[in-house]
Amino acid sequence: MADTGVSTESFAQETNVAYKGPRLRMAIIGCGGVSETQLKALQSMPDVEIVAGADINPQRLQATKDKFALTALYADYHKMLKEIKPDAVTVCTPNALHAPATIAALEAGAHVITEKPMAMSPQECQSMIDAANKAKRKLAVGFQYRFHPATQMLRRARDEGQFGKVMFAKCQALRRRGIPNWGVFGQKHMQGGGPMIDIGVHVIEMAHYVMGSPKPVAATGKIWTYMGNKPNDVSSVWPDWDWKTYTVEDLAIGHIRFDNGAVMQIETCFAAHIERDVWNFTLAGEKGGCSWDPPAIFTDRAGTMTNTTAAFLAEGDFLTLFKLKLRNFVDGVLRDQPLEAPGEAGVAVQKIVDGVYRSSEAGQEVRIA
């Protein structure tokens, strides 16, 4: 006799339906490590065709060909843009190349999503926005953590008024000993800075997004380099970094004032004598507050101080977040859906980061225009 029972698994099975709609022809500039995650995410989308890649490193081009069967590969992205004429481009280069590669792609008629941070300075960010507006093309920034289920939960809570007026945000992106031993992460002329612009930017953008994106008006900050520029004999997850070329900060602390009266405290480091790694932001509002890790909402109910946590949150692994941010970009281009991280979001975050660096150099608070 046939089993007539119905299991929950039967409702979760995927169905393969041939996609017949429009496809976005996408090219990639920069075939380093982050591009692999992007390519994996894009290859899962039936409405995307990956048409070309560009990188100055022939080994990276060969690895891209071997792993993703991509054959239209170029050492010069200008030539790729001219010959391939992609609909859209994703920029996965070191930070110093985000602006020139993005502007070139926009001027070639392509929509663009660039990896974080948006660029090296607010001025570069604005030039990218200006180029997008002139070309009438979409411009997005790869802020994947605002797509994290915990971030979305807290954003919805804020939109529902559960926090009231947000007064204070605390952002922490802390590694006890996590200096990258690959790429150019320790080279200021290529990256613009160290943990503040590399990992701090993730937590800053999440908190700023959940706060409702107030306008930053002033910054106070201080940065220190005391470990990354010296030989290391301490066991760590990423040993043997290139200390001889290390020109970025190990530790950065910032204080940001916003036009609505709110303030943000930022703590970020590649290396510091702290108890453990931390990746979190917290908010304090007049009616409630929250934390990202663990995701929780703090408020008063029924005459009682209460902490609310989620009974269920969807997956938030790295590949899933990349799929979500790229899905939003593809839908923005193909279906004119709103971009969750447009260029304007990128320049606001860049102004925060830049303000901390400028303040540290000046030794006093600086204004943010």
Q: What is the CATH number of the domain that holds 34?
A: 3.40.50.720
Domain boundary among 102, 137, 172: 137
- Is residue 183 located within the same domain as residue 93? no
- Is residue 85 located within the same domain as residue 169? no
The pLDDT score that the predictor gives to residue 13 is 53
> Amino acid identity, residue 153?
M
- Is residue 212 located within the same domain as residue 119? no
The pLDDT score that the predictor gives to residue 15 is 56
- Is residue 233 located within the same domain as residue 167? yes
Query: What residue numbers bound the domain in which 273 lies?
Result: 147-312+343-367
The pLDDT score that the predictor gives to residue 52 is 98
- Is residue 207 located within the same domain as residue 350? yes
- Is residue 227 located within the same domain as residue 203? yes
- Is residue 106 located within the same domain as residue 35? yes
Question: Is residue 161 a contact partner of residue 287, using CB atoms and an 8 Å limit?
Answer: yes
The pLDDT score that the predictor gives to residue 315 is 87
Helix (H, G, I), strand (E, B) or coil at 239: coil
The pLDDT score that the predictor gives to residue 18 is 87
- Is residue 121 located within the same domain as residue 222? no
Nearest Cα to Cα of residue 157 among 290, 311, 282: 290
Establish if 324 belongs to a structural domain: no
- Is residue 88 located within the same domain as residue 237? no
- Tens digit of pLDDT at every position of the chain (369 positions): 444 444 444 445 555 678 999 999 999 999 999 999 999 999 999 999 999 999 999 999 999 999 999 999 999 999 999 999 999 999 999 999 999 999 999 999 999 999 999 999 999 999 999 999 999 999 999 999 999 999 999 999 999 999 999 999 999 999 999 999 999 999 999 999 999 999 999 999 999 999 999 999 999 999 999 999 999 999 999 999 999 999 999 999 999 999 999 999 999 999 999 999 999 999 999 999 999 999 999 999 999 999 999 999 998 999 999 999 999 999 999 999 999 999 999 999 999 999 999 999 999 999 999
The pLDDT score that the predictor gives to residue 11 is 47
138-153 burial, b for 16+ CB within 10 Å, e for fewer?
Answer: bbbbbbbbbbbbbbbb
- Is residue 173 located within the same domain as residue 81? no
Cis-peptide into 94, omega within 30 deg: no
Establish if 189 belongs to a structural domain: yes
Q: Which element (helix H / strand E) includes 124?
A: helix 122-135
- Is residue 169 located within the same domain as residue 270? yes
Could you identify the residue written with the tokens 């980061």?
353
- Is residue 259 located within the same domain as residue 122? no
Please list, in sequence order, all residues whose beta carbon lies within 8 angstroms of the beta carbon of residue 123, skipping any fewer than 6 positions away: none
Phi-psi region of 140 (alpha: psi -120 to 50; beta: other; left: phi over 0): beta
Nearest Cα to Cα of residue 170 among 330, 281, 50, 259: 281
